[in-house]
Amino acid sequence: MKTSGALKAVPGSPFTVGADTWGIGIDPAGKFTYATDYSTNKVFAFTINPTSGALKPVTGSPFATGPGPDSVLVDPTGKFAYVTNESYTSGPGSVSAYTIDASTGALTRLPWNPDRESSKHDNSNTCALDREKTEAGSFSG
């Protein structure tokens, strides 16, 4: 942003993601950003240039999610990312859970992933982290 308050485009902007992007999340350190694409069931990952703000795709991006990803949340420690997924049908929604590689920003699905299990989610598309349990990757929602 300029001193006048006017916005100035970041070099290389706009950055390519899927055609149906619903949500974006940034890690607490401001090193990585993640954007969901509803139509492809993917989350796109980028590194953020600390000087220019330009984005660079993370190797391996985009990463698979459950059906209909919309929101993405990075926990306060920057170690985990959670994507809320709507169901394409009237079935339950889900949450995809990942660890974040601290040096590259790449996502790795947690061994037990709620979007692979039956759940009783109410499709509210919210995800709340238990700050006392983030080391274990706990969440509620």
State the total domains in the chain.
Answer: 1
Identify whether 61 is part of a domain.
yes
CA dihedral sign of residues 52, 80, 35, 1: negative
Write out the residue range of the structural domain in which residue 100 sits.
Answer: 21-116
pLDDT of residue 59: 97
Identify whether 5 is part of a domain.
no
SS3 content of the chain, % helix, strand, coil (to 5): 5, 35, 60
Identify whether 95 is part of a domain.
yes
Identify whether 72 is part of a domain.
yes
Q: Which DSSP helix (H) or strand (E) runs through 83?
A: strand 80-85
Identify whether 49 is part of a domain.
yes
pLDDT in tens, 72-131: 999 999 999 999 988 766 567 888 999 999 999 999 999 765 555 444 444 444 444 444
- Which pTM does this prediction carry? 0.76
Q: Evaluate whether 50 touches 35 at the Cβ level (below 8 Å).
A: no
Q: Average per-residue pLDDT in the chain?
A: 80
